[in-house]
Amino acid sequence: MTMPSIYETLNSQLGPGIVYEGSDASKARHLHDFMYTMPAGTTPGAIAIPKTVEQLSTIMRLCHENGQPVTPQGGLTGLVAGSLPDPGGVALSLERMRAVIEIDPAAATMIVEAGAPLETVQNAADEAGFLFPLDLGARGSASIGGNASTNAGGNRVLRYGMMRDLVLGMEVVLANGTIVTSLNKMLKNNAGYDLKHLFMGSEGTLGIITKLVLRLFPKPQSACTAFCAVNSYADAMNLLGRARKDLAGTLSAFEVMWPSFYELAQNAITNLPLAGGHPLYVLLDALGSDQDTDQVRFQGMMERALEDGIVVDAVIAQSGKESTAIWGVRDCVGEFPRLFGPAATFDISIPTGKIAEFVADCDARLAAKIKKSRTVWFGHVADSNLHLMAAYDDASKELAEQIVYEAVREWDGSISAEHGIGTLKKPYLSYSRSPEELEVMRTLKAALDPRGILNPGKVIN
């Protein structure tokens, strides 16, 4: 007697329209994530797209009983190949669980299903008179559950924190199908372990997030933006200190761009705000509550920085249109792969005060081993987050990665600031985590997923 396939097992329990065969051409998008496609000739054994948490729980229970690997999928925009299914395993998409369930104005919270796109969440908050502050380029496709499972960051971390700081409660389905409902709405709740933190940043390896209680914030009523040139990283740090102190807690972005970034941006944008040739560029953004008073305070801070020689040249936006144009400089990175050519790309963290020395050291290490080495550096440096594109010419991408991650290890940084580990960074996890930390991670994994079915091959397992 032949054993039923995982598709047959799931389909017979869940009924029509929930589970599809891995070879179903209409569901082929589940064979890719943003980085990779499954190896040629391979497919998942089944693609499951439940509509309810009960259906999702049944799928997990059956996969657990049958020892079937399950890969959770949100909007498939992750940048570390974390949602690519196992050949023969189950791709489990949250795309049909996308309802905004409740907005509670008194608690300033929203309850939402995990498959809702980030932009849907932002718009729902906006319509209710609130701000949901997480924002990133993939907002139209990335799901809020994917954001939580990767602990996403983005442009406003300095002001509002990462996704971990924006979640109060959660519903999760464990590997064996158990539904754990913990839809806490309270800012203060120290009743034992705060379990939600286990599932944030664990990239679908410990449980499947099905609902979230999100924190909402007052909508900013003002935005002040400036683009400036500074002579050194020390001056950039000086400016950061002043902006933090003088802007009454409104500073929401402090983006630093190195000259190679600005040179490349000249090929993407016709009217750059400042002339080239400066050692470093900084974009500052402040979100406040009153445009008139905030603009006066912002302008005053910038004028003092110019008078004191901390800033050597600056443009301050006088309208929303000018602010958008300034942000266009930072956001033109989308054009860089085309303009720069093949490159290894990095999302790393280095303690903020050490960043300039790290950049110089890392450039020297790359130049010593890679002919015609070229790099582009930029980052949310106040969050300690650096992005790097490194051309590897006729050397290999792996060599560039080895050099950079080795440097990150020696400078006590992190190999992943905001994108996670997935499969791409897994070989380097031990560069940023001690053997003891890795052992605790393995203990948690074994306790919550004893059969190792949740997103195998990703992060730690």
Ligand X SMILES: Cc1cc2nc3c(=O)[nH]c(=O)nc-3n(C[C@H](O)[C@H](O)[C@H](O)COP(=O)(O)OP(=O)(O)OC[C@H]3O[C@@H](n4cnc5c(N)ncnc54)[C@H](O)[C@@H]3O)c2cc1C
**Sites of contact with ligand X (CB under 6 A):** 33-34, 71-79, 82-83, 94, 114, 136-138, 142-143, 145-147, 149-150, 152-154, 203-204, 208-209, 418-419, 422, 455, 458
d(CA 156, CA 252): 5
Smallest distance, ligand X to C-beta of residue 361, A: 25
Whether 206 and 198 have beta carbons less than 8 Å apart is answered as yes
Of 69 and 145, CB closest to ligand X: 145
Smallest distance, ligand X to C-beta of residue 162, A: 8
Residues 167, 169, 173, 176, CA torsion sign:
positive
Of 147 and 295, CB closest to ligand X: 147
d(CA 83, CA 74): 8
d(CA 88, CA 101): 34
Smallest distance, ligand X to C-beta of residue 385, A: 9
Beta bridge partners of 169: 213
Smallest distance, ligand X to C-beta of residue 396, A: 24
Smallest distance, ligand X to C-beta of residue 382, A: 15
Smallest distance, ligand X to C-beta of residue 453, A: 13
d(CA 344, CA 341): 10
Which positions ≥6 away from 26 have C-beta within 8 Å? 20
d(CA 151, CA 281): 28
Smallest distance, ligand X to C-beta of residue 60, A: 11
Of 150 and 252, CB closest to ligand X: 150
Smallest distance, ligand X to C-beta of residue 125, A: 17
Helix (H, G, I), strand (E, B) or coil at 150: helix
Of 310 and 457, CB closest to ligand X: 457
CA 422 to chain centre: 12
DSSP assignments along 260-326, one per residue: HHHHHHHHH-SS-SS-S--SEEEEEEEEES-HHHHHHHHHHHHHHHHHTTS-SEEEE--SHHHHHHH
Smallest distance, ligand X to C-beta of residue 299, A: 28
Of 116 and 125, CB closest to ligand X: 116
Of 279 and 456, CB closest to ligand X: 456
Residue whose beta carbon is closest to ligand X: 146
Smallest distance, ligand X to C-beta of residue 139, A: 8
Residue 342 backbone dihedrals phi, psi, to 5 degrees: -60, 135
Of 247 and 454, CB closest to ligand X: 454
d(CA 125, CA 107): 13
Tokens for 395, please give them.
């050397």
Smallest distance, ligand X to C-beta of residue 379, A: 11
Give me the residue label for tokens 């994917």.
Answer: 146
Of 136 and 367, CB closest to ligand X: 136
Of 136 and 312, CB closest to ligand X: 136
Whether 131 and 252 have beta carbons less than 8 Å apart is answered as no
Of 278 and 433, CB closest to ligand X: 433
DSSP assignments along 94-143, one per residue: -TT---EEEEETTTTEEEEETTSBHHHHHHHHHHTTEE---B-TTTTT-B
Of 60 and 408, CB closest to ligand X: 60
Residue 306 backbone dihedrals phi, psi, to 5 degrees: -70, -45
* Torsion of Cα atoms, 389 then 390 then 392 then 398, to 10°: -90
Counted residue by residue, the chain has a size of 461
Classify the phi-psi angles of 277: left when phi > 0, otherwise alpha if psi is within -120 to 50, otherwise beta: left
Smallest distance, ligand X to C-beta of residue 274, A: 24
Of 91 and 310, CB closest to ligand X: 91
